[in-house]
Amino acid sequence: MLRKKLDDITKIDFFFSWEMINISLYNEIKKECNAIGKNNYFSSIKTTWSEKCKKVVFEADLATIKTDAHNYSPQKLFDVFCPLCAKNELNLNFRKHVPIISTEVDMCLPLRVQFYFNLLEVQKAFHGNQTNLSYRWQGCFTANFKYNEADKDFNMLLGLKNLLQQLFPLQF
């Protein structure tokens, strides 16, 4: 995420471009969330959405993963090309079976992101863990990090610009 407000708006554009939400919901979101407002491009603007905006964006999230609020899972938002895993996940949670994973990531595996980013071949592909750290990769919302919800509004573009100006060796 580089700039939260624009990332949120871009997510909705992505959903619409892939026909995951209909045009009326898309237009309602653009209207209620002021998606074309010039203030969306300023880094000093905190991400604040009206209650109506939050409601229609939530409806879009539910529509994209073909579910209702009872089994909604934010982790599934980006699994747009994969079938839902509710039955398999339920079985995993009740320890009815354990998936066997060889060369692929089982999209129904809970915490699959942590699993995926700890695979050696994935770390090599992303030039990650180049110093051979002894611990496993974890996301930013684990107890070991001081990242919190308020940090989502931080404009990462300024941080990246700072790093580049200091000639910090970035690898992409």
What are 95-146's pLDDT values in tens digits? 444 444 444 545 555 566 677 778 888 888 888 888 888 888 777 666 566 6
Distance of CA 56 to the CA centre of its chain: 18
Q: DSSP secondary-structure letter at 110? A: T
**How many residues are recorded in the chain?**
172
Q: What is the arithmetic mean of pLDDT over 79-91?
A: 50
Q: For residue 132, is it left (φ>0), alpha (ψ between -120 and 50) or beta?
A: left
Collect all residues with Cβ–Cβ distance below 8 Å to 53 and sequence separation of at least 6: 29, 32, 33, 34
- Structural domain boundaries in the chain: 1-84, 101-150
pLDDT tens digits for 30-65?
Answer: 889 876 666 655 555 566 788 999 899 888 888 876
User: CA-to-CA distance for 21 and 63, rounded, in angstroms?
Assistant: 6
The pTM (predicted TM-score) of the whole model is 0.49
